[in-house]
Amino acid sequence: MNTRTLSLSRSASRTTLALAAFVAIALALFYIARPVHAGTGFEVDNHQLQNGQTIDSSSFNEDSSACANGGFNSGVTWHFVLNKYESGNAELFGHFKTAGDFGPIDSAGRNGNVLFFYVNTPTDDTLVTNWAILDTQDADAQLQLSGVCHSGTPSQSQAESQSQAESQSQAESQSEGASQSGEGSQLGGTGTPAGSVSNGAVAQDGVSPLPTILFSLILLASLAGLAFANVKTARSRS
């Protein structure tokens, strides 16, 4: 092998490592913005979140049956449905503003061509992104949030109604006869029970660092290989 061939070989090696480093950086940035899917399949996005829209559970449609059907007795239960999905299974993913990432969540059941999913957050939250991964392609499949159920954590409208009722009760108590105290008793709020996080339950700080760590390691390995190749080339020239 002559000097020109050796030089071209070293140049190609450095170029390959540089491209690998670039790809690692791109993948790391991609998976920071969106968590890694478990497995492969066909993605269907929640059509309610198009054009940057979000969903706030404190003002969304209340579905009292979702708590019992989802098996959660505290926090806020989110009931998702995958409509027009004739066959196959699917997994649910998404991101809450406060609770962070969730998924993969398995379906809780099927009724005809509809799959049901239940996700629980400790308190009211805002749904930012949401999608499902289907194991069978179906162009008609449509994902959406059907309703939410507040259990142990009142929604904003419920909290306002409770506050008004307490204020009225306190005023009535203060206006009663001298035999009663001038200071009305005030009801205490019911705290959210601290339960363990199960399938479908999202912790308050639920963002998983594993994707970022994984691709950071890939990036470091690529950069280390590039640095080693440069050092080896410099030594060979000297």
pLDDT tens-digit readout, 32-55: 444 444 446 899 999 999 999 999
Q: Are 143 and 78 in contact (CB under 8 A)?
A: no
- 96 and 199 share a domain? yes
Residues 202 and 236 in one domain: no
The pLDDT confidence band at residue 3, using thresholds 50, 70 and 90, is low
Asked whether residue 109 falls in the same domain as residue 156, the answer is yes
- Is residue 120 within 8 Å of 60, Cβ to Cβ? no
Mean pLDDT score across all residues of the chain: 73
pTM score: 0.54
**Residue 18 sits in the same domain as residue 110:** no
DSSP 8-class letter at 87:
S
Asked if 12 and 78 sit in the same domain, the reply is: no
Q: 151 by DSSP, 3-state: which?
A: strand
The residue type found at 69 is N
pLDDT in the model for residue 111: 93
Q: Taking 90 as the threshold, does the pLDDT of residue 150 lie above it?
A: yes
Nearest CA to 124 among 182, 211, 202, 220? Answer: 202
Assess whether 75 and 96 both reside in one domain. yes
Domain of 48, in residue numbers? 37-168+193-206
pLDDT for res 106: 95
Residues 10 and 70 reside in one and the same domain: no
Instruction: Report if residue 79 sits inside a domain.
Output: yes
Based on the structure, what is the number of domains in the chain? 2
H runs (alpha helix) in 34-102: 65-70
Residue 83 has pLDDT above 50, yes or no: yes
Model confidence at 202, in pLDDT bands (50, 70, 90)?
low
One domain for residues 15 and 63: no
Task: Tell me the sheet residues that pair with 118.
Answer: 79
Residue 170 above 90 pLDDT?
Answer: no
Q: For residue 134, tell me if it sits in a domain.
A: yes
- Predicted confidence at residue 1, as pLDDT, reads 55
**Residue of 180 and 62 predicted with greater confidence:** 62
Cβ-proximal residues to 197 (8 Å cutoff; 6+ apart), any chain = 203
- DSSP symbol at 183: S
Percent of the chain with pLDDT over 90: 42
Q: How confident is the model at residue 75 (pLDDT cuts 50, 70, 90)?
A: very high
Q: Are residues 20 and 106 in the same domain?
A: no
